Chain A
């Protein structure tokens, strides 16, 4: 009898439990806008080191920034400006003064109102280079900031800087609450207070960061946005959990087991496997490219025929296939095609015969030995070896010295004596433009940018080129800039101070619950136009 009773009771309990569970599920999606079921987990390959936008140093640091914070202006997928905390901006004719008109009626998550004082507090902090924040070097051009009225702020630059607006559209220009800035570095790193679409729920260092949707976000409010809201109410997620998982196979397994919804940074093999098993995949070119720099101050590279020969001897498509599984994009200009002012150049033909002939003409028919420096990551070494084999076919022996990244940077910058006496003849490395602007990407090949002052690792010096770079960098007129960079790209392409190899791509895979995953122009995950699919 007892036995029977216990069986009956157990069955009753199971039903009761099941009913409770069902009840929870049933009530969940009765809210305006984003459903309460819309919770996603994102896997990154490394942990963010800080939640302080101005102190970000890695791609992982960028991921949560635009969820928690808004900048004055954002860059859309096609490099168009999306006005965020500012309504618009007037520029003075000399390009030195930027007057921002700010949106009204917005406040930070701690209740502090967003106004000109708040903007000034942020811009002043960004400009003061003695703070030592990792990302603030791009704001070195700011001279001073004035509050014009409650919702107008004027920034005066030390010199004309064409990419200035771009630099205000990247993660490091996220606007923090002035009360947070007053609390100092540690608070900025741990307790974000912004105006963003999400607020911090919890951060467990080493484990995850969980963000909750701010349903009162100003971007959903048509009045504050001046008619059309930045986003419709059903965009976004109820919560986003960002987890660092350094092991790629574990990221893939987590996606497959359903413990996560989106994983970034995947190798071509895994990407293909996931795509074939029905996962969504996004690959997008960023603002980084790899170059084979040739030190133009060396006697051997003073002869343009040698530089041309090298550019013709490297089969870049094969490099892409062999080393990167065709994941990257062959360079069509020294700028990546995702950048403004990019202009496609005539592809350099892969022609080892012609290259050999050019070398013979230049007097190097008997062969040539060059010293090359590169980074010592596995794929970087493979890339170097590939180029080494290609150049061997035209009689060039490339002696490669792979070095640890930071050490390599130091060494390249710390050459002693004249630029023509550097220990390396050539240098293979990627370069990413933080400002996503042509001025940074190609402007660094100007004579004034020889290391250690800038990134002209080719020690390229060409008066005509310098002239156009100067015009492009000092103008805020897009037409003028377009012409200047068009000329500069052409000169660079014909002159080959460096062989532009491949532009990098960023990859994410995600399950059926997410729609609208994208990457920003600089490569950071961009979920603004994403939403949940039941």
Chain B
């Protein structure tokens, strides 16, 4: 097990190295002289020179990359070109907020998705199943953006039940978390449903029933345990999608997380912040994948990583 983890961590380091090169280059390939983009149409040549020197933009790409990487490895991520403040300060202010939003969204969507999935799966072909399918298809078909906007119009503007901009309270988090989790909920429900239907056909289910176990025990002890594995994989994969969704949801609710920062960095060509954000987001996706793989072993002890 330890050997496996070490191997995977090594893999993450290599992946992150490649991602860093990719991110660095792709940002440099965006046309336009960065100093001019920062200072605007009317900047004097003297100002452009100052900024070019200040950000080391006159050096070769290789040198620029080495300087950046050296900084990153020493914990210095440079200053934001938009605000002049350290990038880690800007990201640090918002990171916790996005994590909080994502955690709320994951929690409700996984719980709701699992319940709907089991409900539909165990009653395949009945009205409960069709209700479940309708809910999950709707959740996937409706765009986050629209869902959030409708929630705002009805629940905030008309009924005054929630504040539009999250104010730090739990009540404020309800709508953004609901909007962000809708897609994940549907995905989990669909996979859970088919997984349950598969498991119900398996020999061990028949054996369990033949032993005379209660239907409830059969479902929760045998069926659920086995059908949960593919769902975990899906949750892991969906987390990356969720980070993308956070950009939209944060924008609709004016919630200042890293999704909104990403959007602003692109809009104002804040390259130092942008490259760091992409790096951090990629790291999360890779790390979450590792976590998910390790979770398999916990859920199903039959899986061994030696």
Where the two chains meet, the residues of A that have a C-beta atom closer than 8 Å to any C-beta of B are 46-47, 49-50, 55, 57-58, 129-134, 136-137, 140, 185-186, 189-190, 204-207, 243-247, 249-250, 253-254, 256-257, 259, 404, 406-407, 409-410, 434, 455
In the complex the two chains form, is A57's CB within 8 Å of B263's CB? no
Contact with A57, one of B40, B160, B260, B267 (Cβ below 8 angstroms) = B40
In the complex the two chains form, is B33's CB within 8 Å of A410's CB? yes
Chain B: which residue is nearest A135 at the CB level? B40
In the complex the two chains form, is B47's CB within 8 Å of A137's CB? yes
Contact with B253, one of A250, A409, A410 (Cβ below 8 angstroms) = A250
In the complex the two chains form, is A249's CB within 8 Å of B264's CB? no
B37 partner residues in chain A, CB cutoff 8 A: 406
Residue-wise interface mask of B (168-184) relative to A, using a CB-CB cutoff of 8 A (1 in contact, 0 not): 00000000000000000
B39 partner residues in chain A, CB cutoff 8 A: 57, 132, 134
Contact with B254, one of A133, A136, A137, A246 (Cβ below 8 angstroms) = A246
Q: Does any Cβ of A come within 8 Å of B202's Cβ?
A: no
Q: Say which one of B11-19, B132-140, B151-159, B235-243 lies at the interface with A.
A: B151-159
Question: Which of the listed residues B51, B85, B165, B253 has the most CB atoms from chain A within 10 Å of its own CB?
Answer: B165
Contact with B46, one of A129, A190, A246 (Cβ below 8 angstroms) = A129
* Bound: A309/B41 CA distance, A: 30
Contact with B152, one of A46, A186, A204, A253 (Cβ below 8 angstroms) = A253
Contact with A256, one of B47, B54, B157 (Cβ below 8 angstroms) = B157
In the complex the two chains form, is A404's CB within 8 Å of B90's CB? no
* Bound: A57/B39 CA distance, A: 7
In the complex the two chains form, is B85's CB within 8 Å of A189's CB? yes
Contact with A259, one of B51, B82, B165, B263 (Cβ below 8 angstroms) = B165
Q: Can you list 19 pairs linking A and B with CB atoms under 8 Å apart?
A: A47-B264, A50-B84, A58-B268, A130-B50, A134-B38, A134-B43, A137-B42, A137-B44, A204-B93, A205-B83, A206-B93, A206-B94, A250-B252, A253-B149, A253-B164, A406-B37, A406-B269, A407-B31, A434-B42
In the complex the two chains form, is A257's CB within 8 Å of B157's CB? yes
In the complex the two chains form, is A257's CB within 8 Å of B160's CB? yes
In the complex the two chains form, is A206's CB within 8 Å of B256's CB? yes
In the complex the two chains form, is A55's CB within 8 Å of B84's CB? yes
- Closest CB-CB distance, B99 to chain A, in whole Å? 15
In the complex the two chains form, is B93's CB within 8 Å of A205's CB? yes
Chain B: which residue is nearest A129 at the CB level? B46
Question: Which of the listed residues A49, A206, A409 has the most CB atoms from chain B within 10 Å of its own CB?
Answer: A206
A58 partner residues in chain B, CB cutoff 8 A: 268
Number of A-B contacts (CB under 8 A): 115
B51 partner residues in chain A, CB cutoff 8 A: 132
In the complex the two chains form, is B254's CB within 8 Å of A186's CB? no
B149 partner residues in chain A, CB cutoff 8 A: 249-250, 253
A190 partner residues in chain B, CB cutoff 8 A: 85
In the complex the two chains form, is B32's CB within 8 Å of A410's CB? yes
In the complex the two chains form, is B84's CB within 8 Å of A186's CB? yes
Chain B: which residue is nearest A453 at the CB level? B45
* Bound: A295/B225 CA distance, A: 73
- Closest CB-CB distance, B31 to chain A, in whole Å? 4
A46 partner residues in chain B, CB cutoff 8 A: 264, 267
In the complex the two chains form, is A246's CB within 8 Å of B165's CB? no
* Bound: A131/B42 CA distance, A: 16
In the complex the two chains form, is B38's CB within 8 Å of A206's CB? no
- Closest CB-CB distance, A126 to chain B, in whole Å? 12
Interface set, chain B 91-106, CB cutoff 8 A to A: 93-94
In the complex the two chains form, is A132's CB within 8 Å of B165's CB? no
In the complex the two chains form, is B156's CB within 8 Å of A404's CB? no
Contact with B156, one of A50, A186, A243, A257 (Cβ below 8 angstroms) = A257
Chain A: which residue is nearest B89 at the CB level? A205
- Closest CB-CB distance, A167 to chain B, in whole Å? 12
A185 partner residues in chain B, CB cutoff 8 A: 84
Residue-wise interface mask of B (237-275) relative to A, using a CB-CB cutoff of 8 A (1 in contact, 0 not): 000000000000001111011001101100111000000
In the complex the two chains form, is A407's CB within 8 Å of B32's CB? yes
Question: Which of the listed residues A57, A253, A434 has the most CB atoms from chain B within 10 Å of its own CB?
Answer: A253
- Closest CB-CB distance, B256 to chain A, in whole Å? 3
* Bound: A47/B264 CA distance, A: 8
Q: Does any Cβ of A come within 8 Å of B163's Cβ?
A: yes
B268 partner residues in chain A, CB cutoff 8 A: 49, 58
Contact with B164, one of A50, A134, A204, A250 (Cβ below 8 angstroms) = A250
* Bound: A205/B96 CA distance, A: 13
B82 partner residues in chain A, CB cutoff 8 A: 49
B47 partner residues in chain A, CB cutoff 8 A: 129, 132-133, 136-137
B93 partner residues in chain A, CB cutoff 8 A: 204-206
Q: Does any Cβ of A come within 8 Å of B222's Cβ?
A: no
Question: Given A49-B82, A409-B41, A253–B264 Cβ distance below 8 Å?
Answer: no
The 7 closest A-B CB pairs, nearest first, are: A206-B256, A132-B50, A406-B37, A245-B254, A406-B32, A407-B32, A407-B31
A244 partner residues in chain B, CB cutoff 8 A: 254
In the complex the two chains form, is B254's CB within 8 Å of A134's CB? no
Question: Given A206-B94, A406-B32, A49–B83 Cβ distance below 8 Å?
Answer: yes
* Bound: A287/B263 CA distance, A: 28
In the complex the two chains form, is B164's CB within 8 Å of A259's CB? yes
Question: Given A247-B252, A259-B163, A130–B46 Cβ distance below 8 Å?
Answer: yes
- Closest CB-CB distance, A40 to chain B, in whole Å? 15
- Closest CB-CB distance, B254 to chain A, in whole Å? 4
Chain B: which residue is nearest A58 at the CB level? B268
In the complex the two chains form, is B152's CB within 8 Å of A455's CB? no
In the complex the two chains form, is B31's CB within 8 Å of A404's CB? yes
* Bound: A207/B250 CA distance, A: 12
In the complex the two chains form, is B83's CB within 8 Å of A50's CB? yes
* Bound: A250/B164 CA distance, A: 8
B38 partner residues in chain A, CB cutoff 8 A: 57, 134
Contact with A253, one of B33, B157, B269 (Cβ below 8 angstroms) = B157
B152 partner residues in chain A, CB cutoff 8 A: 249-250, 253
B157 partner residues in chain A, CB cutoff 8 A: 253, 256-257
Question: Which of the listed residues B31, B41, B152 has the most CB atoms from chain A within 10 Å of its own CB?
Answer: B41
B94 partner residues in chain A, CB cutoff 8 A: 206
B165 partner residues in chain A, CB cutoff 8 A: 243, 245, 254, 259
Question: Which of the listed residues B51, B54, B257, B260 has the most CB atoms from chain A within 10 Å of its own CB?
Answer: B260
Question: Given A246-B251, A257-B156, A257-B157, A134–B40 Cβ distance below 8 Å?
Answer: yes
* Bound: A58/B38 CA distance, A: 11
Chain B: which residue is nearest A440 at the CB level? B42
* Bound: A471/B110 CA distance, A: 73
In the complex the two chains form, is A254's CB within 8 Å of B269's CB? no
In the complex the two chains form, is A410's CB within 8 Å of B84's CB? no
Chain B: which residue is nearest A131 at the CB level? B50
- Closest CB-CB distance, B125 to chain A, in whole Å? 41
Contact with B41, one of A136, A205, A455 (Cβ below 8 angstroms) = A455
